[in-house]
Amino acid sequence: MDIYIIPDQTQPEVGQGKTYRTRQSLSLEDLGKTLGILAISTLFGFLLTDLNFVITNVIMIYILGVLVVAMLTGSRWYSLLASGLSVLIFNFFFTYPYFTLFSEPGYVATFLVMFLVAVLGSSLTSRVKRQAVESAQKAYRTEVLLQTSQKLQKAEQESTILAVMATQLNKLLERAVLLYPVDDAGQLGSALEFPTAREDLSPFLTESEQEAARWVWKNNKHAGATTNTFPAAHCLYVAVRGAGGVLAVAGIVMAGKEKPDAFEKNLMIAIIDECGLALEKERLGRAKQKIEQEAKQEALRANLLRAISHDLRTPLTSISGNAGILMENSAVLDEGKKKQLYSTIYDDAMWLFNLVENLLSVTRIENGTMGLKLETELIEEVFQEALDHLDRRASEHVVKVQLEEELLMAPMDARLIVQVIINIVNNAITYTPPGSHILLSARQEPGRLLVTIADDGPGVSDADKGALFTMFYTANNERGDGRRGLGLGLSLCKAIISAHGGIIGVKDNVPKGACFYFTLPTPEVKSCE
Where are the chain's structural domains? 28-149, 168-285, 290-367, 375-521
Helix (H, G, I), strand (E, B) or coil at 212: helix
Helix (H, G, I), strand (E, B) or coil at 186: coil
Distance (Å, whole) CA 281 – CA 292: 16
- State the Rg of the chain over Cα: 43
CATH topology of domain 375-521: Heat Shock Protein 90 (3.30.565)
- pLDDT, residue 381, reads 92
458: DSSP letter: S
CATH for 290-367 is 1.10.287.130
182: DSSP letter: B
- pLDDT, residue 22, reads 44
Ranges in the chain, pLDDT < 50: 8-23, 477-484, 527-529
So what's the architecture of 168-285 in CATH?
2-Layer Sandwich (3.30)
- pLDDT, residue 465, reads 81
Task: Kindly list the distances between the CA atom of residue 447 and the CA atoms of 407, 409, 411, 444, 501, in Å, as whole numbers in the listed order.
Answer: 16, 12, 12, 8, 12
HSE, side-chain direction, 13 A CA sphere, residue 365: 21
Q: Is the pTM above the cut of 0.75?
A: no
Task: Kindly list the distances between the CA atom of residue 156 and the CA atoms of 2, 272, 283, 285, in Å, as whole numbers in the listed order.
Answer: 14, 17, 10, 10
Distance (Å, whole) CA 418 – CA 92: 108
Peptide bond into 97 cis (omega under 30): yes
- pLDDT, residue 491, reads 79
